[in-house]
Amino acid sequence: MVKVSKLAVVRIRGKVDVREGVKDTLKMLRLTRPNHCTLVDEDSSRKGMLGKAKELLTWGVIDPEVLEKLLWEKGERSWRRAGYG
């Protein structure tokens, strides 16, 4: 079994002067606003999507420690937002 690494993708630009095809790609990646991050598998189809929107995004392989911290903090915020903390 091949282990697939995760890429952290961050949208760094807004939506002014964005082509329609790039807008669709950003929607598929669930990057709707600047400074939002999403995790995707590192495969050829995702790399093609990243290449299409490369002027608006930055990405890189995420370390396991950073991934754990990101998920912990995101979960903690969601927990507080639900009124439990």
Residue numbers of the domain that contains 70? 6-84
Asked if the structure places residue 12 within a domain, the reply is: yes
pLDDT digits (tens, 9 = 90+) for 20-48: 999 999 999 999 999 999 989 888 999 99
The domain total for the chain is 1
Asked if the structure places residue 62 within a domain, the reply is: yes
Angstrom distance (rounded) from CA 19 to CA 14: 12
Asked if the structure places residue 65 within a domain, the reply is: yes
Res 78: pLDDT = 57
Asked if the structure places residue 29 within a domain, the reply is: yes
Res 85: pLDDT = 45
Q: What is the pTM of this model?
A: 0.76
We report the CATH number of the domain holding residue 31 as: 3.30.1390.20
Asked if the structure places residue 1 within a domain, the reply is: no
